[in-house]
């Protein structure tokens, strides 16, 4: 498990023994506002820092070290790994109030979604991983169709197309 707080620290915990953290990191320059575990790569954790930090940091929790830090230009409020793609979503507050989609591992920005007028405090994905919903201090929810459906296996018959192919 991982936890972060207003003391700018990231703590890693063992679920079996919660009396002392396994590791403590203090690389963030503001509160640790966002934490996400990668569903695609074992031991990969990302964290986002508050207004005075404005970074997304990557952690190898197996080797217990910080591996990358990306300046985002604004407070990081949420982080979410895409379900079906090797991409990361970040939401932001002061001062950009936007949603960014990043390609991993390069952290090339693929999209910037705008529409909220206050910081984007909430982020969730639909069960199929295609749609995001965000909530902001402007008291709005916004739905974003961001990701394609999970790639289907190519198992079509040569003789007869599958029922899903027939229209």
What is the band of 165 on the pLDDT scale with cuts at 50, 70, 90? very low
pLDDT at 152: 53
Tokens (6 digits) for 22 = 């396994």
Alpha carbon distances (Å) from 78 to 29, 46, 106, 150, 164: 17, 10, 19, 23, 37
Q: Check: CB of residue 130 under 8 Å from CB of residue 87.
A: no
Q: What is the pLDDT of residues 7-16, one digit of tens each?
A: 999 999 988 8
pLDDT band at 19 (very low <50, low <70, confident <90, very high): confident
If you average pLDDT over residues 52-63, what whole number do you get? Answer: 97
- Give me the mean pLDDT over the 56-64 stretch: 97
Asked if pLDDT for residue 153 goes beyond 60, the answer is no
Residues β-bridged to residue 92: 76
From residue 16, give the alpha-carbon distance in Å to each of 1, 21, 22, 117: 10, 11, 11, 43
pTM of the predicted structure, to 2 decimals: 0.86
In angstroms, the first-to-last Cα distance of the chain is 47
Query: Could you tell me the CATH superfamily of domain 2-165?
Result: YVTN repeat-like/Quinoprotein amine dehydrogenase (2.130.10.10)
Q: Can the peptide bond before residue 95 be classed as cis, meaning omega within 30 degrees of 0?
A: yes
The predicted pLDDT at position 149 comes to 82
Per-residue pLDDT averaged across 135-156, rounded?
80
Q: What is the pLDDT of residue 162?
A: 31
Averaged pLDDT score across all residues of the chain: 89
Alpha-carbon separation of residue 164 from 127, 154, 161 (angstroms): 21, 12, 8
Average pLDDT over residues 50-63: 97
């Amino acid at each position: 498990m991982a936890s972060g707080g207003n003391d700018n620290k990231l703590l890693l915990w063992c679920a079996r023994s919660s009396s002392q953290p396994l590791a403590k990191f203090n690389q963030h320059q503001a509160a640790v506002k966002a934490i996400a575990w990668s569903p695609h790569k074992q031991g990969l954790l990302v964290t986002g820092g508050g207004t005075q930090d404005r970074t997304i940091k990557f952690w190898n929790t197996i080797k217990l070290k910080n591996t990358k830090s990306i300046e985002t230009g604004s407070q990081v409020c949420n982080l979410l790994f895409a379900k079906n793609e090797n991409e990361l979503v970040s939401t932001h507050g002061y001062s950009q109030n936007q949603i960014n989609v990043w390609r991993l591992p390069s952290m090339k920005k693929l999209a910037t979604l705008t529409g909220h007028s206050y910081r984007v405090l909430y982020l969730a994905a639909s069960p199929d991983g295609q749609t995001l919903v965000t909530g902001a201090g402007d008291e709005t929810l916004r739905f974003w169709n961001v990701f394609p459906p999970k790639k289907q296996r190519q198992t079509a018959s040569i003789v007869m197309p599958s029922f899903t192919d027939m229209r």
